[in-house]
Chain A
Amino acid sequence: MGKTLFDKIWDAHVVRQQSGYPDALFIDRHYIHEVTSPQAFDGLKKRGIGVFNTARTTATADHNVPTKDQHLPIKEALSRHQVETLRKNCKEFGVELYDLGHPFQGIVHIIGPELGFTQPGMTIVCGDSHTSTHGAFGTIAFGIGTSEVEQVLATQCILQHKPKRMRIEINGTLGKGVVAKDIILYIISKISASGATGYFVEYAGSTIESLSMEARMTICNMSIEMGARGGMIAPDETTFSYIKGRKFAPQAEAFDKAVAQWKQLKSDDDAEFDKVLAFDATDIAPMITYGTNPGMGIKVTDRIPTPEELKDISEKPSFIKSLDYMGLEPGSQLLGKSIDYVFIGSCTNARIEDLRMVASIVKGKKKANGVEVWIVPGSKQVEDQARKEGLDKVFEAAGFELRSPGCSACLGMNEDKIPAGKYCVSTSNRNFEGRQGPKSRTFLASPLSAAAAAITGKVTDVREWI
């Protein structure tokens, strides 16, 4: 029997397989940031040990940073202390840090691929659940807790049981106005926020193969929102040409040699998965979420379900609680609903392609009165590229605010928060209660849909604009 891509990469990284123990899995690349690393470094200090291999570790500051006036000291004392602690730890342990103001700084899952650190066949971890993003390159990449961050810093290994394997196939041509974000919101709406718990997903099929790397990253990024440990896509020419020439990628002959190896990275035709799902791309429409978990999504023109329409009746109380939080009526239309904020950013949708999508919709238009629009590029390099292409002028003319890189309003941790009771169309990944700030209300959507909403001030079907 053949092997899945997941098994091939996993098996190649097992340092020790011992009966009664989880596998000791070697980690090729470890990304760290300010929020989930301080306690791990403390653990190393208590044990009196160093970082196993600093060359395999990359740090940046992203979650807790302001997106305005980044050259000034961080105003809030606890946030400042956390970023300063990262600085101190990186210096003491010899870890490369792309700090605020560095040309490579940005959201950890955006800079890794952008700098060429993320390469096919690797195992990658980070103390952040959206580490699944890197799976777009044909890697095993998953989020870990701080105790595990400490394990990897100390030993470059992690103790893990192999998850089950799921294959999700999407075939066919996407309709106009339908992009990667819609694909993943559609899948999650079909299988629920826990539909892939216990699994590692491989996405495949003609639709996936047709996507750019940016789009593939958006899909793999949200694997965790259906409970999956991670998601991956077999590397192909699109992958190789994205990596070629990036700063920390293999160069010249070494690159050609690497590509020859990377070409082997795919599931065998007779590989067996524990579960296989298939979807038809032509059934996917621009999607939007209406509730407080990412599985609560609908096509933008559909009605919000009623409690009676739920597949699992036991979920009725949670469903009612969720709609109550959102201030929405069961069975009503979301289309045309007035909104207050638009947030374009996060590790899901803050790459240059996302910003270009937004610009394509808003060029020559102005935002609706009363709507505040924040565009937060995923990295310094994305920001620089956007300015080079003149996208900043398009945004400025539309009345949008282009900010500096960081996680921003995705998680209500730094200064950027959506006020209580306000509605925000957001390109981020989570619509949990209070995720974007206490009592904030989030509608997750694609950059195209978010851009259209910014112009009309309402939940909008972007297909009418294309």
Chain B
Amino acid sequence: MSKEKFTTLKSTAVPLPNENVDTDQIIPARFLKATTREGFGENLFRDWRYDSNNQPISNFVLNDSSFTGKILVAGKNFGCGSSREHAAWAIYDYGFRVVVSSFFADIFKNNALNNSLLPVVVSDAFLKSLLDAIQKNPSLEVTVDLENQFIEFDGNKESFEINPYKKSCLINGYDDIDYLLSLDKEIREFDKQHA
């Protein structure tokens, strides 16, 4: 089934320098009760965004109106912990289309790629200078070019790796099931032989 296509994105970015941001922070388990994929954005980073009386916590970056945009820039080991795809859904539903970090947890990375959310892995040094630059200038424009595999801001440019198959899925809006369904006959044969 077709998904949103991703080619190039130019946007301001939101800095979240914390390391080891786990999926329980991205979307706490008590908000995983929905049976659809939509609406998780409202609880993205719930316990960092709102206090126990549901009042916005003013010093959290998503509550700071100077920082907006479709790119989330986060500290290393982003998305560790639970396999909940709800974490990727929440980030996407909130409006982000790219997450930049120096290191992603494996399952989160797969989940993001399966939901038209591009994880961009950069060097520690690039991450630090990007975070600093956004802090200094919240209206800084960041470019993420998937076709040519680079990220750029203010004359700083770094290329990033992405698996060619996943790249083509994102650019064309394909998903994995379309490919696997085309192997149906082979899979049925395999299943029979391994019963």
A residues sitting closer than 8 Å to B (CB atoms) are: 15-16, 20-22, 24, 26, 28, 35-36, 38-39, 42-43, 46-47, 49, 52-53, 63-64, 78-79, 81-82, 85, 127-129, 131, 143-148, 150-151, 154-159, 161, 163, 193-194, 197-198, 224, 227, 229, 293, 314-315, 317-318, 321, 411-413, 420, 430, 432-435, 438-439
Contacts and interface: CB of A to CB of B under 8 A. Distances in A.
Most buried by A among B33, B86, B115, B181: B33
Contact of A317 (B17, B22, B191): B17
Contact of B80 (A26, A38, A293, A433): A293
Nearest to A160: B110
Nearest to B38: A39
A129 B107 contact: yes
B47 interface: yes
A373 B108 CA distance: 34
Contact of A145 (B32, B83, B175): B83
B1 A46 contact: yes
Nearest to A142: B107
A81 B35 contact: yes
Contact of A194 (B76, B111, B175): B76
A364 B187 CA distance: 57
Q: Which 10 pairs show the lowest CB-CB distances between chains A and B?
A: A145-B85, A413-B29, A38-B35, A78-B33, A145-B111, A143-B83, A147-B114, A129-B83, A155-B180, A146-B85
Nearest to A89: B35
Interface string B89-101: 0000000000000
B37 to A, nearest CB: 5
Contacts of B106: 163, 197-198, 227, 229
B155 interface: no
A28 B193 CA distance: 12
A229 to B, nearest CB: 5
B22 to A, nearest CB: 5
Interface of B: 1, 17-20, 22, 24-25, 28-30, 32-37, 47, 52, 75-77, 80-86, 88, 103, 105-107, 110-111, 114-115, 124, 163-165, 175-177, 179-181, 183-184, 186-187, 190-191, 194
Contacts of B176: 147-148, 151, 158-159
A43 B1 CA distance: 9
B30 A413 contact: yes
Contact of B47 (A49, A151, A159, A433): A433
A43 B180 CA distance: 14
Nearest to A53: B191
Nearest to B175: A147
B84 A438 contact: no
Contacts of B30: 412-413
A21 B136 CA distance: 42
A420 B53 CA distance: 13
Nearest to A47: B1
A46 B177 CA distance: 13
B84 A193 contact: no
Contacts of B19: 314-315, 318
Given A147-B111, A293-B22, A433-B24, A85 B84 contact: no
Given A15-B186, A38-B35, A438-B52, A22 B22 contact: no
Contacts of B35: 38-39, 42, 81-82, 85
Contact of A193 (B77, B183, B194): B77
A145 B165 CA distance: 18
A197 B103 contact: yes
B24 A432 contact: yes
Given A36-B83, A438-B52, A318 B20 contact: yes
B184 A147 contact: no
Given A227-B80, A434-B25, 11 more contacts: A39-B85, A145-B84, A150-B177, A157-B183, A159-B179, A197-B80, A411-B29, A412-B29, A434-B28, A438-B52, A439-B52
Contact of B18 (A43, A46, A148, A318): A318
A438 B80 contact: no
B83 A432 contact: no
A148 B115 CA distance: 11
Contact of A24 (B17, B37, B163, B180): B180
14 contacts: A21-B179, A39-B35, A42-B36, A82-B33, A129-B107, A145-B110, A154-B181, A159-B179, A194-B77, A227-B105, A229-B107, A293-B20, A314-B124, A438-B28
B41 to A, nearest CB: 15
Given A129-B82, A430-B81, A438-B52, A161 B163 contact: yes
